[in-house]
Amino acid sequence: MNRQAVIGIRAQLTAGKLNQALQAAQRLTAAEPDSAEHWLLLSEVQIQPKVSIDALPAVRRALELDPDNERCLAHLASCLLLAGEFSEAQAVATRVLKNDPNNTSIDAETLDKLGNVLNGCGELGLAHDCFARAVDMCPDSPHYLFNLAALQRALGKMKESEASFSRVVAIRPDDSAAHLARSSLRTVSESDNHVEELENALHRVTPNSNAEIRLCFALAKELEDLGDHARSFGFLRRGSDIRRRRMDYDVDADVEAMAQIAKTFSADRMNTIKSGYETDEPIFILGLPRTGTTLVERIVSSHSFVFAAGELQNFAIELIKIAQRDSGGTRLNREQLIARSAELDYHELGKRYVDSTRPRTGRQARFIDKLPLNFLYTGLIHKALPGARIIHLTRQPMDACYAIYKTLFQQVYPFSYDLTDLGRYYIAYRKLMAHWENVLQDRFLNVSYEGLIGDQERVSREIISFCGLEWQEQCLDFQNNKKPTATASASQVRQGIYTSSVERWRYYEFELAPLKELLEGAGLALDHW
């Protein structure tokens, strides 16, 4: 192995000089093709988002040369996860852990990589253990501490999570992601908050940076907790405006896509699609984010027959794979994908979807897929999986939109940082759901967020009955559900039913007036749905 060359390439990677790193790694593997380390390094360069070359062949070559190399296996798992091969990624990651039963041989960096893979596969308990081991090895690493804190939050360990995030901030005071995550864990009070600390951090950031965005959202959240609504919205608008300016997004494309979906999957077309794969395992909970989807997931997954699989990308991934295969392997744009998706073998799609969720699912009679954006595929889901239960969450439009607007998402929901974008997307979403309801009639259940928190037992019983399950009393005590959740509502859903989010938008009637006018102009009732 050419150690000096490897060090140089890793330095280029760290510096973001990806083209130079790629060319150097390619030269290295050509010069010394029998070095597993060189092939691993090439794959690590290829997997970078701005390089986006298929990194699997290079890491597989590394493993041919060194089959038991834990670092190579962990990287293989990462590549498989990125390729949407969740089952294989999980199998490889767990294999590495099983080969180290005494917790002695795997280094912290590899444990961290395995933790990220297992987290992506929904195995949050195993991911937590990987991150905890990494922190034990490197207790002052803010990176490992941050990942551990995030998993503690998902597992409901809120006090431990806050302590871990506080350790990150103590080591790295300008870690805006840790500041934001810590602010989300609980309702702060006048005597116990981080507002001054956040304001000081905000003074030190580069203007218009991701750090400024995160700190603005953190301040907006804590100031809202403290009832300082004017300042809260000021920081929220500031952070959202910066985020929107930094994005290349056109809401017209999403609006047109939803209209095309409705047109392509007309009532007549839906009637010609043959029945799909027969199984009653999946329960889909869908809608827009921040509308109560996680709350309903916690209620249903409190049932002893139900497993919460999280926000699965599997349905869309399998749909795209089949559509591209049927198109001769051609990469399809969105318009082409929608058109092709009406011609699929829906039995194959349904079966491939269920198979792709293994081995996480199948151990209990039913499983929940709680990806909100599955609302786009409501009709397709019904055709591919006619025995699946589909639950659609609704919420008062202004409350729904405000809840979305004040949430800083990771890589999804780009429409959420501008009130006009948000309003137009919401209107298009409502039109598409009205189409699905017209086409599918009673094939899915609409659940009102306000109705659920207003009459918890009645609506919970209705949901459980719709899922074809016998009632169990623990479904009323969902806040005691110990199952993990990694969504933006991870802290709220452990509090039980509360009503403080109803009509919260009215604190900001002046600031949200343009959104209200847009929704009213579309004929949407703002008092209820």
Q: Which of 314, 382, 372 is nearest to 346 (CA)?
A: 382
Q: Is the pLDDT of residue 444 over 90?
A: yes
| CA–CA distances in Å: residue 159 to residues 144, 166, 186, 357, 517 | 18, 11, 9, 32, 42
Contact status, residue 306 vs residue 312, Cβ threshold 8 Å: no
Contact status, residue 175 vs residue 142, Cβ threshold 8 Å: yes
Q: Is the dihedral of CA 41, 44, 45, 46 positive or negative?
A: positive
Of 38-52, 96-110, 347-361, the range with the highest mean pLDDT is 347-361
Cis before 484? omega within 30: no
Confidence of residue 528 (pLDDT cuts 50, 70, 90): low
Confidence of residue 482 (pLDDT cuts 50, 70, 90): low
- Distance, CA of 121 to CA of 92 (rounded, Å): 11
- Distance, CA of 112 to CA of 133 (rounded, Å): 9
Residue 303 is classified by DSSP as S
Contact status, residue 314 vs residue 281, Cβ threshold 8 Å: no
Q: pLDDT digit string (tens) for 187-219?
A: 999 999 999 999 999 999 999 999 999 999 999
User: Which three-class secondary structure string do you get for 165-199?
Assistant: HHHHHHHCCCCHHHHHHHHCCCCCECCECCHHHHH
Q: Which of 338, 520, 504, 296 is nearest to 426 (CA)?
A: 520
Supply the pLDDT for residue 269.
94
Q: Is the pLDDT of residue 6 over 90?
A: no
Q: Which of 96, 44, 48, 57 is nearest to 74 (CA)?
A: 96
Q: Which of 370, 359, 350, 362 is nearest to 301 (CA)?
A: 370
**Which of helix, strand or coil describes residue 274?**
coil
Backbone angles phi, psi at 389, to 5 degrees: -95, 135
Q: State the angle between helix axes of 86-98 and 70-82 in degrees (0 to 180), rounded to the nearest 10.
A: 160
Q: Is the pLDDT of residue 7 over 70?
A: yes
pTM as predicted = 0.89
Q: pLDDT digit string (tens) for 396-438?
A: 999 999 999 999 998 899 999 999 999 999 999 999 999 999 9
The proportion of the chain whose per-residue pLDDT surpasses 90, expressed as a percent, equals: 82
Amino acid in position 119: N
CB contact burial 289-319 (16+ within 10 A = b; e otherwise): bbbbbbbbbbbbbbbeebbbbbbbbbbbbbb
Sheet containing 445-448: which strands, arranged edge to edge? 306-308, 366-369, 282-286, 389-394, 445-448
Q: pLDDT digit string (tens) for 160-182?
A: 999 999 999 999 999 999 999 99
Q: Is the pLDDT of residue 493 over 80?
A: no
Supply the pLDDT for residue 487.
56
**Which of helix, strand or coil describes residue 105?**
coil
Looking at residues 476-498, what average pLDDT do you find?
64
